[in-house]
Amino acid sequence: MDNPAAVYDDEGKYAQAEALFSQILDVQQRVLGPEHPDTLRSMGNLATIYDHVGKYAQAEALLSQTLEVQRRVLGPEHPDTLYTQSDFAFMCQREGKYALAATYAAQALAGRRHAWGSEHPDTMASVNDLALAYLSQRKFAESEPLAREALEFRQRGPQVSREGSPWDVHAGRAQARG
């Protein structure tokens, strides 16, 4: 339902993407309810757009709300919950909130290791996210083993992420999920 909005996002047409994602979210909240998985995904997508256009407070508030409902309704190890945690970590990292980024990255990593194992490409993306958050805080002793783990994984060969593209540190991170 939100594919045209995702196209606008991919094209950098954020005003159109924001308007369409907002409209989609309004309809889903009325029709599906505020706790439906599709509604929650749309909330995350809209938060991503807010982040893209510099509406950081709105992005953080909406992503926080989304994550709280996902944890309660879907569970802490549901794929959507883990993706939202990872998105939150990535957003905090870009905003220079490194300690908060590390917190969300560590949560996403723990959940992904437990749910999917250490060899899953998205688990490795979380390993890399946490390494970067530690590095940004100059916590070299914590960052180095994680960075080595991610590098060794990548050197073993191409992997496929959830989005279906070759694994990259942030491949598909800002793309809408749907």
Domain boundary among 74, 94, 124: 74
Q: What is the CATH number of the domain that holds 28?
A: 1.25.40.10
Chain segment 78-111, per-residue pLDDT in tens: 999 999 999 999 999 999 999 999 999 999 999 9
pLDDT for 160: 52
pLDDT exceeds 70 at position 36: yes
Whether residue 166 sits in one domain with residue 123: yes
pLDDT exceeds 50 at position 177: no
pLDDT for 158: 59
Statement: the pTM of the whole predicted model exceeds 0.85: no
Contact 162, 172 (CB under 8 A): yes
Whether residue 177 sits in one domain with residue 103: yes
Whether residue 23 sits in one domain with residue 7: yes
pLDDT for 25: 95
User: What's the total number of domains in the chain?
Assistant: 2
Whether residue 14 sits in one domain with residue 48: yes
Domain boundary among 11, 45, 74: 74
Chain segment 105-157, per-residue pLDDT in tens: 999 999 999 999 998 999 999 999 999 999 999 999 999 999 999 999 888 87
pLDDT over 70, % of the chain:
87
Domain boundary among 56, 74, 92: 74
Whether residue 117 sits in one domain with residue 66: no
Question: Which domain, by its residues, includes 92?
Answer: 82-178
